[in-house]
Amino acid sequence: MDLETPLRSLLSDLGLDLYDLEMVKGTLNVVVTKSGGVDLESLTRANRAISEWLDVNDPIAGRYTLDVSSPGLERKLRTAAHFRSTVGEVVTLRELRGSEPTRRLEGTVLSVDDTTVTLDDAEHGVVTVPIDSIERARTVFKWGAEAKPTPSRGKASSSTAKEG
């Protein structure tokens, strides 16, 4: 059963957007976003609504755990849509390259289409990577952003030394 469509609709009614949906090792991970950020109350309401919907519709066989969360500062990137939302941002990824060694890249995303991501990597320059060869990727949060220059206040002053 397609879970994305009904959950997207359910979350939309709560003022939330579905960022990611993935079943991993018996856990249904539902990642939600909202303009301005997701607060604890929104996560609680989403968890309750999704849990009730899953109980009524029973789309998943067997036991599983539901985990509803926000993407966080360094959000996971899996799909072309995820990468499209990062154009102009710095990401890090691991690229699987068949018989060649796995390559770690970090750089600014320049462009994205349905199958590839192009980024400006610090070491390798501009690199285009097939999305299906990316083992894992995430955005990079830089602590302590660079200080912005401040405009001077008041009149410009000059100091002169007087000899006396």
CA-to-CA distance for 91 and 121, rounded, in angstroms? Answer: 9
**Per-residue model confidence as pLDDT tens digits over 41-85:** 999 999 999 999 999 988 888 888 999 988 877 888 988 988 988
Q: What is the pLDDT of residue 37?
A: 82
Q: What is the pLDDT of residue 161?
A: 46
Q: What is the pLDDT of residue 58?
A: 85
**Fold adopted by 80-139:** SH3 type barrels. (2.30.30)
Q: What is the pLDDT of residue 86?
A: 86
Sheet holding 100-112, edge to edge: 125-130, 116-121, 100-112, 90-97, 134-139
pLDDT along the chain (164 residues), means of 10: 88 91 89 87 94 89 88 85 89 87 88 93 91 90 64 45 48
CA-to-CA distance for 6 and 34, rounded, in angstroms? Answer: 18
- Same topology for domains 4-69 and 80-139, yes or no? no
pTM of the model: 0.66
Task: Confirm if 49 and 10 have CB atoms less than 8 A apart.
Answer: yes
Architecture of domain 4-69: 2-Layer Sandwich (3.30)
Q: What is the pLDDT of residue 71?
A: 84
- Spans of all domains in the chain: 4-69, 80-139
Cα→Cα distances 144→106, 108, 141, 147, 151, Å: 19, 18, 10, 8, 20
